[in-house]
Amino acid sequence: MNWDDTTGTDAADERLVASVADREDQAVEAALRPKDLGEFIGQEKVREQLDLVLRAARARGATADHVLLSGAPGLGKTTLSMIIAAEMGAPIRITSGPAIQHAGDLAAILSSLQEGEVLFLDEIHRMSRPAEEMLYMAMEDFRVDVIVGKGPGATAIPLELPPFTLVGATTRAGLLPPPLRDRFGFTAHMEFYEPPELRRVIHRSANLLDVEIDTDGAAEIAGRSRGTPRIANRLLRRVRDYAQVKADGVITREIAAAALQVYEVDARGLDRLDRGVLEALLKLFGGGPVGLSTLAVAVGEERETVEEVAEPFLVREGLLARTPRGRVATPAAWAHLGLTPPRSTGTGNGQQDLFGA
């Protein structure tokens, strides 16, 4: 076997191992998902309102109204869609906006739905416009018009659909056109979790994973989970690995802190990318302002990755500010990294507005 063949085999092996690891993580995440509203932790208002919607629909013997769930990734939108199906005793079909690029794609999905079935459409704001317009009629009248032929001879054949429940999920509700938003009978915005709620999530997951964890250990993980249950569960699994290999398997505050240091998650929940963005902003650009594209190049990441993954958390933590002139570090960012902000020279670099003369 020549060198190229060996390299190709090694790369294929690495991809296979990564694929298996991804499937194992997905299996664990699925096992940790709550199965009904009673098990779902947090989002008290949303749970109360959704419970009323579902109970009323069951009492009428009707299909539940269409539901729109908005909020940051990892807060439980997919889990709630599965709970809606379970509470209604209906099957669920899962797809996503980017997968529906033509009206025909959507027509094929809709025409195969069973009566009462739940259709979960993730990232609904990324659906194509022709499919979106077809969805209007499907949601309101349970009917779609299928176009047969082209040009002057084209005809529209109406296709009746069984009543179904659409559950749309989006991280950017502002991108949804009003006609689509208005067709949802119930809309809910998912909020970030408070530390006490995350501790409950972690204790529940630890019990399901048969992991022993004390109150302080759960608090340590919760404080670094960015207000997001998905991240809390991921960090719990990594801390579990560390505790099994480096300790006696019991997760305490000390074990959790040591494990998360290994995985480069600091006390405020910043990971390698977050710290890289802050360090580049402070050390290379004096705290800004600097354009997002320039900042992304400095950390070796795509612009979209910095904008959608790192920036929202840094802004929410008060470590970074978005201004018309670019991204600017706040005094809290300098303090978090243990650095001293430069004295303002009054040359228009933007720092005098934040730090004074």
Catalytic position from the list 63, 170, 171, 228: 171
- Which alpha helices (H) appear in 33-99, and where do they start and end? 44-60, 77-88
- Does residue 67 sit in helix, strand or coil? strand
Q: Annotated catalytic, 35?
A: no
Using CB atoms within 10 A of its CB, is residue 109 exposed (0-12), middle (13-18) or buried (19+)?
middle
Q: Annotated catalytic, 105?
A: no
Q: Annotated catalytic, 77?
A: yes
Given its phi and psi angles, is residue 190 left (phi above 0), alpha (psi -120 to 50 degrees) or beta? beta
Calpha distance 50→295 (Å, rounded): 41
Catalytic position from the list 47, 63, 79, 122: 122
Question: Would strands 143-148 and 155-160 be described as parallel, antiparallel, or unpaired?
Answer: antiparallel
31 in Cβ contact with 23 (< 8 Å):
no
Catalytic position from the list 199, 230, 275, 327: 230
295 in Cβ contact with 327 (< 8 Å):
yes
For residue 256, give the H/E element and its range. Answer: helix 253-262
Q: Annotated catalytic, 171?
A: yes
Catalytic position from the list 77, 183, 240, 275: 77
CA distances, 54 to each of 5, 47, 249 (Å):
57, 10, 41
Q: How many residues does the chain have?
A: 357
Calpha distance 197→191 (Å, rounded): 12
Q: Annotated catalytic, 246?
A: no
Catalytic position from the list 63, 78, 79, 170: 78
Which are the catalytic amino acids? 77-78, 122, 171, 230
